[in-house]
Chain A
Amino acid sequence: MGSWIWWTILGMAIVTYIPRAIPLTFLEGRELPPSIQNILRNIPFAVLGALIFPAIFFIQENIWFGVIGAAAAFGIALTGANVMVVVLGSITVLAVYSLFM
């Protein structure tokens, strides 16, 4: 690759950093209206919903990986297990599944 790849990486770095840094630095010490604050507090749970669905079903071309993986993750999480157990447990379930299919 020529020097253009370095300019591309630099450009990508800058445009990735901007949306990460502006809110965190610009909003520091500013009190937002209560309704906006409430909406921002709602964001994390909404983000998780959107990050999980529908992508969790399409982790592999074979959709059963996603279906079984999702069932395992939700099943383990509903027992009250912590995040690490949910992650390792779901991986184990899928590893066993792919070895035996």
Chain B
Amino acid sequence: MAQRGFSAGLKAGVSIAIGYFPVALTFGLLAKTTGLSLLEATAMSIFVFAGAAQYISLSLITAGVAPAVIILNTFIVNIRHFLMTASLNEKMQPDARWKKALYAFGITDESFSVLAIQKEDNVRTSFAAGVIMISYGSWVVFTALGHLIGANLPAFLQAAMSIALYAMFVGLLVPSMRGNRKVLSLAAIAAVLNSFFFFTELLSTGWAILVSTLASAVIIELISSKGGRS
């Protein structure tokens, strides 16, 4: 298990690549209608590689918002990755800083989830490279394709495929959750808090995920350290 490398990473990343396919295709299409050229749209996916932030930037561009505001907004949406990569650091094999700086670029909600949920304690850098390579490839290629063909998937398929990334999150969570009350509680508390923020509109999505995740992780740690078992 501990020796799983690049090709195992590629395999583990296939479900991300499938999930990104409709999202990237639609992004390419929307970027085109927003007025971005093929080069500009693809460059955004190549250099930014952040789904939610890229979608939001399109609506801000349409609204004529100043670039500085778009950039600030992108930062705010992505602040949650501080928490994810700090957590991921506990999970990854120690490695040269430049290698970690390189694969850090490819950490998204999805690649984080796949990497952080692996059973082994020291996930190899090459495994991360595999997961990221296939996800990134899908994101960039299908952005360009969406812009080029300028059309979306058939409506029924588009609708059906919009479940893909969430189904992946479920598929990652459920095996760890079974027979493990701690994992179940962690997910449930974060889910309830995040839903609360969503329906009350108290926090925007990026902050809501950050706050509910951190709160849940701290609450469960306080309970389990008091109970004297982990």
Contact = CB atoms under 8 A, between A and B. Distances in A.
Interface of A: 1, 4-13, 15-25, 27-29, 32, 35, 37-56, 59-60, 65-66, 69-70, 72-74, 76-78, 80-92, 94-95, 97-99
Q: From DSSP, what is the main secondary structure of chain B's interface residues?
A: helix
How big is the B interface, by class? 35 or more
B164 interface: yes
Closest 8 CB pairs of A and B: A49-B187, A86-B171, A44-B116, A11-B71, A77-B174, A53-B191, A83-B171, A42-B217
Prevailing SS type, chain A contact patch: helix
A46 B101 CA distance: 25
A16 B167 contact: no
B141 interface: no
B82 A70 contact: no
Contacts of A74: 170, 174
A33 B62 CA distance: 46
12 contacts: A4-B67, A6-B40, A45-B176, A47-B112, A54-B194, A72-B163, A83-B168, A83-B171, A87-B19, A87-B168, A87-B171, A90-B170
Contact of B87 (A8, A15, A43, A98): A43
Given A44-B87, A97-B160, 19 more contacts: A5-B40, A12-B44, A13-B47, A13-B48, A16-B74, A19-B79, A21-B105, A39-B214, A45-B190, A47-B87, A47-B190, A50-B212, A59-B162, A69-B166, A72-B167, A73-B166, A73-B170, A88-B18, A94-B159
